């Protein structure tokens, strides 16, 4: 699934916001972060690491044993240089510890006449016989809701700057 949002700032300003430690701390506080997010800048990229806590009270009993303590480390890696089409590209992955799942996706930020368009894809694969597909649907639903809330939060945060 792909989520797309439009913002009234340039692609570089949007990427700057996404890697801003004040924004990351506020997002972490609002959406179940554990500890302070970090950024690591290189010449042509930025890596953002955030540890999150799953809302264990909302995890179905049937799969609680698969998620361990519910802590997830999310790493977003962005190229700070646009590609030939002028698009900023990134990837993300969620490390679920011992959980038998892979969660990842891609990002892109493209210039528009009014600012920028930000897209996020979500890939979920749960390796549990017989019920993996059902668990994948539940995870996707949770992520769809979370991504929408985080993008609304980012829009509000950008409006207050």
Chain segment 3-26, per-residue pLDDT in tens? 999 999 999 999 999 999 999 999
Q: The domain that contains 7 carries what CATH number?
A: 3.30.530.20
- Residue 62: is its pLDDT beyond 70? no
Q: Name the band, by pLDDT with cuts 50, 70 and 90, for residue 51.
A: very high
CA distance 135 to 118: 27
Number of H helices, E strands in the chain: 4, 8
pTM for the whole structure: 0.88
Number of domains within the chain: 1
Extended strands (E) in 30-160: 33-41, 45-53, 71-79, 88-95, 101-112, 115-121, 123-126
**Residue 48, burial from CB neighbour count under 10 angstroms (0-12, 13-18, 19+):** buried
CA distance 46 to 111: 19
Chain segment 95-114, per-residue pLDDT in tens? 988 888 899 999 999 999 99
% the chain with pLDDT above 90: 65
* 18 or 84, greater pLDDT: 18
pLDDT at 113: 95
- Look up the domain containing 7 and give its range: 2-159
């Amino acid at each position: 699934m792909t989520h797309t949002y439009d913002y009234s700032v340039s692609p570089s300003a949007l990427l700057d916001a996404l890697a801003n430690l004040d924004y990351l701390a506020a997002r972490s506080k609002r959406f179940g972060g554990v500890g302070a997010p970090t950024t690591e800048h290189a010449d042509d990229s930025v890596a953002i690491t955030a540890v999150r806590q799953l809302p264990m009270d909302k995890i179905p009993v049937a799969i609680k044993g698969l998620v361990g303590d519910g802590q997830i480390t999310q790493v977003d890696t962005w190229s700070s240089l646009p590609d030939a089409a002028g698009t900023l590209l990134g990837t993300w992955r969620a490390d679920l510890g011992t959980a038998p799942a892979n969660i990842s996706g891609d990002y892109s930020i493209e210039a528009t006449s009014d600012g920028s368009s930000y897209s996020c894809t979500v890939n979920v694969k749960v390796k549990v016989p017989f019920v993996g597909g059902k668990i994948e649907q539940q995870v996707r639903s949770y992520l769809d809701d979370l991504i929408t809330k985080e993008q609304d939060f980012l829009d509000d945060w950008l409006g207050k700057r």
